[in-house]
């Protein structure tokens, strides 16, 4: 949709919106495969390599690997791991995010062998709640998960999921988090202005005592970012620096500094964020290139 669309193209807008909603289109390009009766049997989301697209298109044309058939077999009780692997891949490639964890949990309940690279990918697909097998695997194998999905993935995922379940309900009235895929989340609900942080902390501490500090830091920085209260945001980070000075996560500090660069114009807070980048570089670990880049951006601003 563009401002230069003519009348004929604009007449398609209602159909575009209906198709996007009905078939859960979350990325472009998307390819929808229908049978002669007009039923959706397969979906390919996003850019693909030539060979990747060809392989998925073969699955789309094969009744045995079409999603409705696979779901029907699952509903009838089929649970062997080879079948579940096919079902997970088709559901994940089709963007059926809500149901994928169910299939992944079933797979790991039967899979007893040593975890492979592909298993870690399944864990990635199926991690949405603390009760998911993927959450447990992400906690237990952070290095393997980070090597596949980027430094800090495991820590951020664990923080986010615990936050969603234990803290988020305290921060917004009628709050809702929608997973849009690709690491994007749509958050709604009125922001509460009076937060009992001790109450939230006690809930996290009761179940995840060793993770309580990092989850609460994640929670508070999210909250102050929503409010655009960058002084409150900086106070949370500075408290982290003071209390954990000998055990700081350099990439976490760089991430905080990057947020200040992007959204804050307060000179004093910008200077403070430069200090976080310096600490990140002094750690001689993490993504040193990014730390230097963010520092340069802050210096320029």
- The number of beta carbons lying within 10 Å of the beta carbon of residue 148 is 12
Q: What is the pLDDT of residue 178?
A: 83
How confident is the model over 135-163, as pLDDT tens digits? 999 999 999 999 999 989 999 999 999 99
pLDDT at 114 over 90: no
**Mean pLDDT within 10-24:** 88
Q: What is the pLDDT of residues 229-277, one digit of tens each?
A: 999 999 999 999 998 877 899 999 999 999 999 999 999 999 999 999 9
| Residues 6+ away with beta carbon under 8 Å from 244 | 213
Residues 276-290 have a mean pLDDT of 92
Quick: pLDDT tens for 65-77: 899 999 999 999 9
* pLDDT tens, residue by residue, 205-232: 999 999 999 999 999 999 999 999 999 9
> What percentage of the chain has pLDDT greater than the value 70?
99
CA–CA dist 114, 132 (Å, integer): 18
Confidence band of 191 (pLDDT split at 50, 70, 90)? very high
Q: What is residue 21's predicted lDDT score, i.e. its pLDDT? A: 86
C-alpha to C-alpha distance for 110 and 267, rounded to whole angstroms: 56
- Residue 86 pLDDT > 90: yes
What's the pLDDT score for residue 247? 82
């Amino acid at each position: 949709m563009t401002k230069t669309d003519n009348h004929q193209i604009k007449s398609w807008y209602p159909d575009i919106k209906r198709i996007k909603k009905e078939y859960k289109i979350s990325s472009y390009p998307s390819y929808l495969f229908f049978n002669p009766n007009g039923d959706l049997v397969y979906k390919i989301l996003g850019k693909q390599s030539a060979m990747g697209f060809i392989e998925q298109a073969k699955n789309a044309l094969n009744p045995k690997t079409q999603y409705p058939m696979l779901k029907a077999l699952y509903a009838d009780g089929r649970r062997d791991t080879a079948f579940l692997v096919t079902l997970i891949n088709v559901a994940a490639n089709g963007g059926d995010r809500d149901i994928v964890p169910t299939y992944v949990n079933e797979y790991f309940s039967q899979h007893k062998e040593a975890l492979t690279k592909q298993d870690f990918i399944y864990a990635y697909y199926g991690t949405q709640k603390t009760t998911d097998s993927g959450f447990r695997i992400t906690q237990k194998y952070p290095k393997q998960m980070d090597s596949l999905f980027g430094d800090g993935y495991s820590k951020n995922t664990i923080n986010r999921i615990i936050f969603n379940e234990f803290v988020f309900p305290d921060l917004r009235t009628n709050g809702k988090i929608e997973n849009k895929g690709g690491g994007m989340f749509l958050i709604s609900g009125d922001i509460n202005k009076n937060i009992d942080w001790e109450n939230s902390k006690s809930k996290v501490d009761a179940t995840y005592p060793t993770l309580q500090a990092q989850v609460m830091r994640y929670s508070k920085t999210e909250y102050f970012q929503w409010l655009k209260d960058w002084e409150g945001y900086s106070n949370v980070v500075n408290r982290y620096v003071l209390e954990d000075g000998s055990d700081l996560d350099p990439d976490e500090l760089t991430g905080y500094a990057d947020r200040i660069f992007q959204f804050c114009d307060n000179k004093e807070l910008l200077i403070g964020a430069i200090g976080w980048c310096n600490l990140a570089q002094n750690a001689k670990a993490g993504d040193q290139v990014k730390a230097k880049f963010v520092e340069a951006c802050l210096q320029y601003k």
